[in-house]
Structures are given as C-alpha cells and as structure tokens.
Amino acid sequence: ATTLKLVLGDQLSCQHSWFHTPDPGVVFVLMEVRQETDYVLHHAQKIIAIFAAMRDFARRLRNAGHRVHYLAIDDADNLQSLPANLDRLLAHYQAGEFCWQAPDEYRLDRQLADYAAALPIPCAMADTEHFYTARHEAAQLFDGRASWVMEHFYRHMRLRHKVLVSDTGKPVGGEWNFDHDNRAAWNGIPWEPADLRASHDHSALWATIEASGAASFGAPNAADLRWPLNREEALAQLERFVQHALPHFGQYQDAMSFKAWRLFHSLLSFAMNVKMIAPSEVVDRVVQALADGAAPLAAVEGYVRQILGWREYVRGVYWHRMPGYDQLNTFGHQEPLPHWFWSGDTRMRCLATAIGQSLEHAHAHHINRLMVIGNFSLLAGLSPQALHGWYLGVYIDAFEWVELPNTLGMSQFADGGLLATKPYVSSAAYIDKMSDYCKGCHYDKKARTGERACPYNALYWDFFDRNRERLVGNHRLGMVYQQLKRMDGPVLDAVREQAARTRRGLAEL
C-alpha cells in the first residue's frame, strides 16, 4: 500500500532523510491552500515566495525520482484545507499509512495530530531534522524558572555543540559575549554590500494567487522577487553574506539608516525558516570564516549568538508557553494599530522608514522591528494581539514559533518579562544615536512637549509613570524611576497631558 507523506510549505529541506532514496511506495504531498494564505493577512511577497519555493522543491523531488502530488492554489480539485485535501488524497491513493513532519506552529501541530488520531490507518510524525534543540529542551534547562536568561541558554548551547569553545570548555577569545563591541552607529562607510541576490519573475504565479481571492498587502515585487527560493540560492546568499557583510555585522548590528535597508545583515531568516538550509550549516560556515581570518571574532560571535542562541531559545519559549501565550497582555493595551501601519504614511521619519521598508521588502532588520516599530507600539499602548497579527503577516520570515515570542515577549513585554528583563523602550535619544532618522524629521527629537515634540519622548515617560506599580521594583529601571521622581509636579503633568493627546491622535501622527 502507498504511504502518503505531507510536506508543509516551511519544510523544504532536501537534506531530510525522507528524501535520501526514492521509494515507489511513497507519495509526497505538497499543497497551496487558502487555509494557509488566510489565517492572517499576509504580505504579498511572503505568499509568492513560499509558493514559488514549494514549486521548486516539488520539481526537485520529481527530478530526483520521487513521486509527488502537488496541489496548486488554482487546481480545480483543491479543497483549500489540509484535512479536506488529505481525506481526498488518502482515498485516491488508497493509502495504508500517513506521515507528516513535526510542524513548528502550534495551530498546525494540533490540527495534524487531531486529524491523524481520527484516521483508521497507521500514522507517524517525523522530526524535521532542522533545529539544534528539541521542542522542550530549553524548558528542561530552565527547569521551572520564572525568568529565562538567554545568555544562560546560549552558553549551554555553545558548550553542548562545541561552537567557539576550546577543548577545555573555555570561550574562544576569553569571553562569551562581545556585545559591548557591537553598538556602533553607521555613517555610510563602508557602504552596505550590493544586493546581488537572484531576481525572479513570478508575475504569472502572482496573477494566480490574486485570482484565487487570497487577500494580501505590501509590494508584491512579483517581477523582481529577491528571496532565495531553493537550497542553491540560499547557500549563495550565505556565501555573499560571509564575504561582504559578516566582517561588519557585529559593529553595525544595531545601526539603522534611511539610506540602507539591509546594512550588514544576512537576509537568511526566510531561507532558514523554510528549512532550505540548516542553522548548523550557517553557524559552521561563519565559524569557518573566523578560522580563515575572513571576519573578526566579535562579528562571528555576535552572529552565532543570533542563531545558536536567540533562534533556538525563542523556539523553546514558544513550545513551553503555547497554547495561551498569544493571549497575554500584561499592560492591558487595547489600542488598534493606526492606519499608517499599512501605508508608512506618518510624519515620524523613523516609523515611516521602518514601516515603509517592511511594506516594500517584506523585511526590516532587528533594530527597526524592536526599537522603532515595537518600541512605539508599546509606548503608545497598541494591542499586542493586533501587533502580533501585523508582524506575523508583514515579514517574509514570520512564522509563529519565532515571531510570537519576539513580538509579544521581547518587544511588547506582554508576558510580564519571561524573555526580556525590562521593557525594550526608549525615547528619541536612542533612535537618534543609532540612526539618521531624526535629522530632517517633522518632529523635534529634543522636545518633550509641544506641537512638534517627538511623540516617543512624552510617551516614554508616561509609560513608566502609568506602569509604576508594575515596574518600579525592577532593579534595571532604578535610574528611570529616579529621573521620573525629579520630574514630579508640573513637568510630569505636562508630559502626561502631551502623551494623552498623542494617544488620542495616533492616526494623525
């Protein structure tokens, strides 16, 4: 009897043991379904890139001699949901067994587990063979602790996987973390590396997606799509990163500029999240660059920390806290997102740039996500759930397991501080220090009150004032509350008034 093996759109790893040798008794199933385009409003490039990569992957499997059943979004017999299509295909092939790979997302994990439990045939879930850690490994390491310090997890990972450690278990270079070297602003020199990613014309696919009725937002760039769509392109992207950007990655990791959307970041998150390349391959290549003398230790360590540390850590948070994590809202913030989240049309130059880049490229680098968009959202009291929907939709690399802990936990502190030891918020001063956004902005970065005062300033102090009870005991916020104390009286009253006015008029900012 035939075995049906389901491959999801973010499981495009040709290295997986499923694909080592063709087996005429196995049919691999890939499907483009409205269930997956519609669970949140997506950026157009995200839908195009995933479907195009799935099509490429299916072609590759067929060429390697595998049997593949591919359901395109506009196929007449596509029933547009996983269970409905699976029912039909299991009957069609008179399948004797059903297998799937462990989904990264709780929603799909439940759906497929429930589906399989009701089937009368043997079923089995396989590992994706992608991550360094198992779903619950981080939770076991933290063993019931209320706060999960990433650095602890990261050192454990370095030792366990012998990355940048000596034979005696000491960190290479004598320190575990070179973050103190990684805080430079960027003045345009060196210029960011040229964008040499392959360009694809996916206009025909885009027309099909639109005709299917799937809604989307953001620039499709269908005729000039620049995301890696298969393993070779992902490996080429990794090579270009190592050669041209990695040497400067550490130093400018937190820098922002309206002139350069990519700076020295790798743009590898999409390729890794759909599993075209494994995190271990990326880490090994970057560590090799250090051995070759092609990049400094601070850059290599900083980059390794993102993948071996943060990426695996947030996955652990996700599986530990789901279900229910997506509903947390410590501060009770309820404000809907202002309309300019979908247009970038605001006079705040930092937000216009960060949101504009997100809509244009389906990407923004970490500090734009955290310290511009997330920072403003938390200060303004936007609903973390609405924001979660926006982040999940807008970014090419957004899959719930990695997006949700970053948005809800790190950026919005909506979990009360599991990931972040204090809320990641700042006034205009930090944004001005790390970027060129404030020069030429309509708003005055120095002013706290008045028509032209930068909205971040009053909102920042008002945030700590409003949440005094919850945050005053946090030892990392001692200075903030000392300063706030000095502002008590008419100064603080004026700040409160300004912040209230700003919050009432978010749409007009």
Closer residue to ligand FAD (CB): 346 or 411:
411
CB atoms within 10 A of CB 189: 5
Q: Find the binding residues for ligand FAD in span 250-269 (CB under 6 A).
A: 265-269
Closer residue to ligand FAD (CB): 131 or 310:
310
Strands (E), 182-335: 216-217
Buried b / exposed e across 19-49, counting CB within 10 Å, b at 16+? beeeeeebbbbbbbbebbbeebbbbbbbbbb
Beta bridge mates, 97: 3
- Distance CA(285)–CA(298), nearest Å, equals 15
CB of 357 to ligand FAD, least distance (A): 11
Question: Is 45 in contact with 221 (CB distance < 8 Å)?
Answer: yes
Buried b / exposed e across 135-174, counting CB within 10 Å, b at 16+? bebbbebbeeeeebebeebbbbbbeebebbbeeeeebbee
Residue 159: which residues within 8 A CB-CB, separation 6 or more?
165, 169
Closer residue to ligand FAD (CB): 85 or 182:
182
CB of 153 to ligand FAD, least distance (A): 12
Closer residue to ligand FAD (CB): 99 or 322:
322
Closer residue to ligand FAD (CB): 66 or 248:
248
Site for ligand FAD (CB under 6 A): which residue of 37, 101, 216, 406?
A: 406
Binding pattern for the stretch 353-372 against ligand FAD, x by CB under 6 A and - elsewhere: ------------xx--xx--
Radius of gyration of the chain (CA): 24
411 binds ligand FAD (CB under 6 A): yes
273 binds ligand FAD (CB under 6 A): yes
Cα angle, residue 28 at apex, residues 22 and 33 outer, rounded to 5°: 160
Q: Find the binding residues for ligand FAD in span 64-103 (CB under 6 A).
A: none
CA distances from 64 to 14, 21, 24, 26, 214 (A): 10, 9, 12, 13, 32
Site for ligand FAD (CB under 6 A): which residue of 391, 437, 460, 464?
A: 391
Question: Is 477 in contact with 471 (CB distance < 8 Å)?
Answer: yes
Site for ligand FAD (CB under 6 A): which residue of 137, 397, 415, 432?
A: 397
Binding pattern for the stretch 296-335 against ligand FAD, x by CB under 6 A and - elsewhere: ----------xx--xx--x---------------------
407 binds ligand FAD (CB under 6 A): yes
410 binds ligand FAD (CB under 6 A): yes
Sole window of 182-190, 333-341, 401-409, 432-440 interacting with ligand FAD (rule: CB under 6 A)? 401-409
Interface residues with ligand FAD (CB under 6 A) are 265-269, 272-273, 306-307, 310-311, 314, 365-366, 369-370, 374, 391, 395, 397-398, 402-403, 406-407, 410-411
